[in-house]
Amino acid sequence: MLDALISNWPLKLLAFALAFAIWVTVTGEHRIVKDFPVPLELDLSASRIVTVDLPNTVTVRLRGSESLMRRVDSLPMELKVDLQDVDPGERDVLLGESDLLGVPRGVEVEFIDPDRLSLEIEQRTYRELPVDLTFLGQPPEGFAFYDAAVTPTRLTVEGPESEVEPLQQLSTNPIRLDQRRQPFDLEVGVVPDGANVRVVDPSPLRVHVEVHPTRVERVVEDVVVALEGQLFETTIEPSLINVTLSGPPAAVESVLPDQIVALVDVTGLGPSARAVSLPLTVEFLELEARHARFLSIKSASRRTVKVTVSGNRQVE
């Protein structure tokens, strides 16, 4: 036993002297106190969400030797609270030294401010909602707003169940129409109702807005007069008419002659040597939906046509 103690005694004596010197230096070093702002992070289940405002940082007061405290300045500290197993509801959570990460050994934690959090935790939910365009102002005199299309038409939001479930739609940021004299495109954002509701995909919405002169007119020539209820060979005079359209320029110019038909109802009309004057009904055929509701037929070159029914039955 004695041999083990005295073997290599010069090295052991040197090690003891060095340890004693370090102890004297550390214990004799001036100790200081300093406050640090430390980021606050809640480790929460993905299916939960906190619905109250929380501080981004907490204040942590540390005490230690000057050399250790100089190290603290360069170290990343964080206060991380484990809430993975916490159920929805109101909760008071104490903040303690065990939640504090990055504090060097030998440094004392004197206090954390605040030392507790009052939380409201809810179930996180998702919902797809239609996008509602919001407009501000009117085009100048002589111009009018006719239509608008948004892409995409629906967006998914997430947030606490109590705020997401009542939502019926998402409203865009206002789109100004004043000083607009022609169609235009722009990107807009949405403004979800609810402080804790957010859009899952925050990419801007693309909006196309139709603004045109109030209305223009266009004459479409050689519109075919067609028959309804025809049983016998029938001649029509005239068989072609002109139709005047009214609407915004883009809509009016999109119409082709074969997308307009003038109809004459000859149901129940039998053979006769005399021509009969019958009224015309002018209709659109298969117009683009985005134009159809803005178009109207202002007039036709004829309101009636002369119809003569022969004795020959119509061959089908």
Q: From first to last of the 316 residues of the chain, give the pLDDT tens digit.
A: 445 555 665 666 666 666 655 555 555 557 788 888 999 998 888 888 888 888 899 999 999 888 888 777 777 889 898 888 888 888 888 888 888 888 888 888 999 999 898 888 889 999 999 999 999 999 998 888 888 999 999 999 999 998 999 999 999 999 999 999 999 999 999 988 888 899 998 788 999 998 888 888 899 999 989 988 888 888 889 999 999 999 888 788 888 888 898 999 988 888 887 888 999 999 888 888 777 878 888 999 999 999 998 877 765 5
Per-residue confidence (pLDDT) for residue 23, from 0 to 100: 54
**Cβ contacts of 305 within 8 Å, gap of 6 or more:** 225, 236, 237, 238, 241, 264, 277, 278, 280
Strand, coil or helix: 287: coil
Q: Provide the residue ranges of all domains of the chain, joining segments of one domain with +.
A: 27-114, 124-213, 216-313
Task: Report CA-CA distances (Å) from 159 to 53, 115, 192.
Answer: 14, 27, 10
**Cβ contacts of 273 within 8 Å, gap of 6 or more:** none
What CATH number has the domain spanning 27-114? 2.170.120.30
CATH class of 124-213: mainly beta
Per-residue confidence (pLDDT) for residue 27, from 0 to 100: 55
Pick the CATH number of 216-313 from 2.170.120.30, 3.10.105.10, 3.40.50.2300, 2.40.110.10: 2.170.120.30
Q: How far apart are CA 147 and CA 181, in angstroms?
A: 13
